[in-house]
Amino acid sequence: MLVGERMSHPVITVTQEMPVHDVLAMFKKDNIRRAPVIKDGKMVGIVSDSDLLNASPSLATTLSVWEINSLLSKITVKHVMTKKVKTIEVDTPIEEAARIMADLKIGGMPVMHKGKIVGMITATDLFKVLLELTGAREKGVRATILIEDKLGEIAKVSKSIAEAGGNIIAVGMYAGPEVGKWGVIFKVLGIKKEAVKAALEKTGKKLVDIR
């Protein structure tokens, strides 16, 4: 799974000359939180909703509508955008995007292909991948077990579920609460909770949670 397969596109962009006020309205309408700033087909920066809000007058001012309008028409994207843009290539593994966003504490970034912007990858896109990964949108039995960190453990458990007639639609692994153990989440269709439980118990692994 690569970034290009789950990014959002087409990309909504803005220009440096756009007044902050217009861009804020556009962000609200399109339900986006950041947009690349484009000049002559090239990216010159990125602007987020908090960049824009930091520059907008608040309801708490005593300025008249006329004063505010005249001030705001002079403030454009150019004044508030971030010039240094973190980007990612279209063929980067999707989990690498999550790593960059967690490390830099950013909520999204432009996706590039041969120097051109081809999409945006955002927190929402990554959440959706996480939902897919764990089969969260599907009905079925969700079971969590603990396995040893050694060869063939996942295969053993998935075989037992398959033999009981269950179809595994998702598998997620994570570092378990004990050292040297993995937690594994299975989402299973086609058989009842009791049957999944029995199949897992047959493997001798510790069942953490089933629902």
Subset of residues 111 to 150 that bind another protein, contact rule: CB under 8 A: 123-124, 126-137, 142, 144, 150
Q: Which of residues 22-51 bind another protein (CB under 8 A)?
A: 31, 49-50
Strand partners, 88: 111
Shortest CB 42 distance to another protein, Å: 28
Assess 3 for contact with another protein (CB under 8 A).
no
Assess 203 for contact with another protein (CB under 8 A).
no
Between CA 143 and CA 191 the distance in angstroms is 12
Cβ-based nearer residue to another protein, 43 or 88: 88
Assess 59 for contact with another protein (CB under 8 A).
yes
Choices 10-18, 38-46, 89-97, 196-204 (CB under 8 A): range interacting with another protein: 89-97
Tell which residue, 78, 21, 75, 6, has the closest CA to residue 46.
78
Contact 97, 121 (CB under 8 A): yes
Shortest CB 197 distance to another protein, Å: 17
Tell me the pairing of strands 206-210 and 141-148.
antiparallel
Q: Which of residues 95-114 bind another protein (CB under 8 A)?
A: 95-96, 98-99, 101-102, 105, 107
DSSP H/E element including 38: strand 34-39
